Amino acid sequence: MPNSTLTLRRHIAAPPAAVWRCWTEPHLLMQWFAPRPVKTVEAVLDLHPGGRFYTAMLLPDGSEHASEGCFLIVEPGARLVFTDCLLAGFRPAAKPFFTADLTFTPTSGGTDYHVRALHANEAGAKRHAEMGFEQGWGAATDQLAALAAKL
């Protein structure tokens, strides 16, 4: 269902190993994961299929937004797939929204970073787009690229 998928692709001027570290080390993920001024204040990354993927973000108004899910595919340095459709241990989630499929491909001078946000249907993808997928994930990716380049 191509109309149920949102994509983002960027060249990051850092090797895939650095981009991977930014996604898989909680102290690094917390530095870039939310588009500023939102802050990621907690991250739990249990890196194996069925392992917990949890983040908590602090919004400028003082409210907190948490996201709970699990990893589906963990291919070190190459591919990371996680979802909020399932919780740790592959337990079904009450309110599933999407699955993220990330690839990190080495290129001359860095990484071809590709994100696919997979939704159950076109309405889910439209909702995610209206929530600011392109702007939010784009800003966070800029932050990711800046951090990865320093590693």
Q: Please state the rounded mean pLDDT for residues 10-36.
A: 98
Q: Which residues does 95 contact at the CB level (< 8 Å), separation at least 6?
A: none
Q: What is the pLDDT of residues 30-69, one digit of tens each?
A: 999 999 999 999 999 999 999 999 999 999 999 999 999 9
* Model pTM score: 0.95
Query: What backbone torsions phi and psi does residue 77 show, to the nearest 5 degrees?
Result: 75, -5
Q: Which residues contact 33 (CB under 8 A, 6 or more apart)?
A: 40, 43, 55, 57, 140, 143, 144
Asked if residue 126 has pLDDT above 90, the reply is yes
Q: Which of 42, 39, 46, 77 is nearest to 60 (CA)?
A: 39
Q: How confident is the model at residue 2 (pLDDT cuts 50, 70, 90)?
A: low
Q: The tokens of 136 are what?
A: 């939010």
* Segment 89-119, tens digit of pLDDT: 999 999 999 999 999 999 999 999 999 999 9
